[in-house]
Amino acid sequence: MVTSSAPGKVYLFGEHAVVYGEPAVPCAIERRARVTVTERADDRIRVHAEDLSLDGFTVEYGSDAGGTPDVNVSESVVEAGVRYVDAAVEQARDAADAPSAGFDVDVESEIPLGAGLGSSAAVVSAAIDAATRELGVELDEAELADRAYRAEFDAQDGEASRADTYCVTVGGAVRVEGDDCRSIEAPDLPLVVGFDGGSGDTGELVAGVRRLREEYDFAADTVETVGDLVRSGEDALAAGDLEELGRLMNFNHGLLAALGVSSRSLDSMVWAARDADALGAKLTGAGGGGCIVALDPTDETETALAFTPGCEDAFRAELDREGVRVEAA
């Protein structure tokens, strides 16, 4: 039995544009998904999930993960909770050259599912790490990040970038541009997260931006503008200029809203944070619902969000400089 964990993440800049080769800067936060993997004597897969914005469920099925498990919950819930684990299991089997390995997989997560905090990336990366270690194989950081990306790419029907999986695998702040992924220096950031209790469909939202970009030249220009903004954000981050970071976060949210990926609840939380004198605030992740991230060294934003209609939770999120780690073996 091996337990591995991986942190969640927020985007300072660049979500959606990163899909088209523009740079993005996500950073890991101190909320984790923990995955415990135990090898079975047969080739079956059992998945038990808790805290993934679900009440918890257990499913068990054969080695062919292409079918829907026979379980008394809605198909959408099963898909949300299991498809990433399926993809992670396939990557672990391939890495260990054990195509018929069976596993019991237990997932406990502090990261709400589909809320823009990297829940799927954290589960996938931790699951691959735990499963390969259980089979006697230890992957280096680069291969683990690559296999986690490939798992998300498969689970999201090709609508994925390396940003989320690389960030949660290595921890800290990272810069991702296409296949070029690297860690970057960042000060301790006064991050506050607001969560509306909902989630967006990442694949659908990414596809929506793709359609908009293909139909309108100005939408394609907007995506490129996000990339230019990210480059300015990198300079501000390197200089530790929090005021400039905040201004650029505000600008980034406006561009994402123009691309149609914000929502009434996300906008309400962003404006509540700004009215509380946050240095900046924006949605984080795919959008459509989920979370915003604000920059505020005071308690004012967290307090304001707690009283904002539509905000179900608000919390401070410290930068987590550690990526995937083994919790028990």
Tell me the catalytic residues. 164
Provide the 3-class DSSP secondary structure of residue 80.
Answer: helix
Alpha carbon separation from 50 to 8, 47, 108 (Å, rounded): 16, 10, 5
- The first and second tokens of residue 287, run together, are 């959008």
Task: Give the list of residues 6+ apart from residue 171 with CB closer than 8 angstroms, or none.
Answer: 7, 28, 320, 321, 322, 323, 324
Radius of gyration of the chain (CA): 19
The per-residue b/e assignment along 186-209, b for 16 or more CB within 10 angstroms, e otherwise, is beebbbbbbbbebbbbbeebbebb
CA–CA separation, 70 and 57 (whole Å): 12
Residue 23 and residue 173 in contact, taking contact as beta carbons nearer than 8 Å: no
| Nearest Cα to Cα of residue 139 among 149, 128, 150, 127 | 128
Which alpha helices (H) appear in the chain, and where do they start and end? 75-96, 119-134, 141-155, 163-170, 202-215, 217-239, 242-258, 264-275, 300-306
- The first and second tokens of residue 259, run together, are 């691309």
- The first and second tokens of residue 17, run together, are 């544009």
Beta-sheet pairing, 45-50 with 103-109: parallel
